[in-house]
Chains A and B, each alone.
Chain A
Amino acid sequence: MKKLLIATALAVFAACGGDFAADREINIISREEGSGTRGAFVEMLGIEVTDADGTRDLTAPQAEIANGTNMVITAVSGNQHAISYISLGTLNNDVRTVNIDGVAATTENVLNGSYPLFRTFELAVQDDLSAAAAEFIDFILSAEGQNIAAERGYITVYPNPPSYTASGESGTVVVVGSTSVAPLMERLIEAFQAVNANITVQMQISGSSAGITAAINGTADIGMTSRPLRETEAEQVNSVHIANDGLVVIVNNDNPLENLTQDEVRRIFIGEIDRWGHFLE
């Protein structure tokens, strides 16, 4: 009881001080199972391993789970010793990023290829694409569509896209797939409907794999995916690259850490390095 009282007093005292205590445990904050951001992150950094027994996500079991980017940012901004990851497009001033392999996480560095952590947003489509769906894809790849992606903080991959003109096609387009691509797609659909009311675009959000499957079996015109097509999938559908999305490792604003290598990030997230003192004096 006395110990608890002393601890409480110390805790209140510690909460007042602003200095970063490097001897503390690293508080890992992860996204939930099934999240596209988590899937891309663990795959890129080798936190997910595949062997004879199947595929396993090795994220440390003590990692706190936050569902959604906003929850991650709130948790990291309120916890000096936290580390987590979000999409570059959703970064704000409440948290700071760590350089990966010495490269700052900026849109320019993703564009010039020096920043290693990014994923591709692709659309899976059949060869015999309907004229309406083809027109919607033309819009996405046009200057108007790519501007929307750039405004939302995603990285566009085509240098000089043509501008869009409506061709007079009409019909309905069904888009199915990734939750990560969905916020961008929502904006694209909004803008498209404003310039072309003849074509109706419907979106269903399920997941990358479900989206690709829907495109393969024809229940959707377009499948959205935040991971590249697997070999077996690429035999059955084509992919259209629409944008890139950088992933950033974030820490609290009080955390002085500047740089981590990819392997250090991996070892933190699987629980091998569990003290900030490993990096900071």
Chain B
Amino acid sequence: MRNFQYFREMAMSRIFLGSAMCSVVAILLIMMFLFVGCLPAISEIGAANFLFGENWTPMNTPPSFGILPMILGSVYITVGAIVIGVPIGIFTAVYLAHLCPPNMYALLKPVVNLLAGIPSVVYGFFGMRLIVPIVRDISQILTGGGTGASILAASLLLGIMILPTVISISESAIRAVPVEYYEGSLALGASQTRSLFFVVVPAAKSGIMASVILGIGRAVGETMAVVMVAGNQAVIPTSLFRGARTLTSNIVLEMGYAAELHREALIATAVVLFAFILLVNIVFTRLVRRRERREK
């Protein structure tokens, strides 16, 4: 009887171990697929030509595979999203954590969570039908041209899409600041706003940074919504009102038709994207670890 129980416990623990290994195996397989897949392209195109080439013309003869426009496109759109989304997100988090009456909180919190659950293709459609036409009219009045599908439209949309991430992580970081900080500041005669922005928010700095980093991760990785509003021109963007192509959209736009070197170049694009996300995650883990150390 004892033996049976022992065996059962062993078996279960193996099953749990196996489940835990699934993600490890998956990430190893993905990395293997990416790196093996991209090697022929990188060796044929040359790493420098690939990363810093300004022309992406895969169907020309001879073809040209430079992803600098896509790298810059990803960077510009992400920076735009951060500029738009982060201030709104942090202000919302401060409001939710400290200033919000309970009945307002009961409304706001579920709405923010709902924002996180909307599929990105729905965001994309919303952006295509609402944001793009408004940006188009603004751009035609200011610059005399432009389709509206642009860096600005994509940044506005992504700014909205990263809100839930920024809000919920910032809110919990702000709530983790001991209430004595806030009360102490008030007792010293500082106003409520001053106490919040000069005492509480700085104390929650690393948690708020972590929320921004995760927001960046979400913005860099977003595909469907961006494809629908960014215009997708594979040229180095020169203005907020001009379109840009991100690394993710480059892959999803052309994967269906690509063959041979073109396909390998797209896999190599995925490797660059993977490196970006890895970097974002390393920075995030560092920040969280630093906060945990300090809290101890």
Q: Which residues of A contact B (CB under 8 A)?
A: 3-4, 7-8, 10-12, 14-15, 24-25, 27, 29, 32-36, 39, 54-57, 61-67, 71, 74-75, 78-79, 81-82, 179, 206-207, 209-210, 274
Q: How far is the CB of A266 from chain B (nearest CB, A)?
A: 18
Name the residue of chain A whose CB is nearest to the CB of B141. A7
- Cα(A32)–Cα(B232), bound, Å: 9
* 9 contacts across the A-B interface (CB closer than 8 A): A8-B138, A10-B137, A11-B137, A25-B144, A32-B232, A34-B262, A62-B233, A67-B256, A81-B147
Looking at B128, B132, B138, B242, the one whose CB has the most chain A CB atoms below 10 A away is B138
Determine the chain A residues whose CB is within 8 A of the CB of B136 once the complex forms.
27, 79
A67 near B227 with CB under 8 A, answer: yes
Q: Chain B 214-239, CB within 8 Å of chain A: the 1/0 string?
A: 00000000000001100111110000
Given the known interface contacts A34-B258, A57-B57, the answer about A65 and B128 at a Cβ–Cβ threshold of 8 Å is no
B256 near A27 with CB under 8 A, answer: no
In the complex, number of A-B residue pairs with CB atoms less than 8 Å apart: 113
Partner of A25, one of B56, B145, B149: B145
Given the known interface contacts A32-B253, A78-B128, A78-B132, the answer about A65 and B245 at a Cβ–Cβ threshold of 8 Å is yes
Q: Which residues of B contact A (CB under 8 A)?
A: 56-62, 128-129, 132-134, 136-138, 140-142, 144-149, 227-228, 231-235, 242-243, 245, 252-254, 256-259, 262
Given the known interface contacts A39-B59, A57-B59, the answer about A65 and B148 at a Cβ–Cβ threshold of 8 Å is no
A65 near B233 with CB under 8 A, answer: yes
Known: A8-B138, A34-B262. 8 other contacts (CB 8 A): A12-B134, A33-B59, A33-B257, A34-B256, A55-B60, A57-B60, A61-B235, A65-B233
Determine the chain B residues whose CB is within 8 A of the CB of A11 once the complex forms.
134, 137-138, 141
Q: How far is the CB of A22 from chain B (nearest CB, A)?
A: 12
Q: Which 6 A-B pairs have the closest CB atoms?
A: A11-B137, A34-B257, A25-B145, A65-B232, A54-B61, A27-B147
Partner of B133, one of A32, A78, A179: A78
Q: How far is the CB of A99 from chain B (nearest CB, A)?
A: 24
Q: How far is the CB of A8 from chain B (nearest CB, A)?
A: 6
Determine the chain A residues whose CB is within 8 A of the CB of B144 once the complex forms.
25
Name the residue of chain B whose CB is nearest to the CB of A6. B141
B243 near A10 with CB under 8 A, answer: no
Name the residue of chain A whose CB is nearest to the CB of B231. A64
Determine the chain A residues whose CB is within 8 A of the CB of B56 once the complex forms.
33
- Cα(A34)–Cα(B65), bound, Å: 13
B141 near A34 with CB under 8 A, answer: no
Determine the chain B residues whose CB is within 8 A of the CB of A12 once the complex forms.
134, 137
Determine the chain B residues whose CB is within 8 A of the CB of A65 once the complex forms.
231-234, 243, 245, 253
Q: How far is the CB of A20 from chain B (nearest CB, A)?
A: 13
A35 near B147 with CB under 8 A, answer: no
Determine the chain B residues whose CB is within 8 A of the CB of A4 once the complex forms.
138, 142
- Cα(A74)–Cα(B147), bound, Å: 13
- Cα(A274)–Cα(B56), bound, Å: 23
- Cα(A67)–Cα(B259), bound, Å: 17
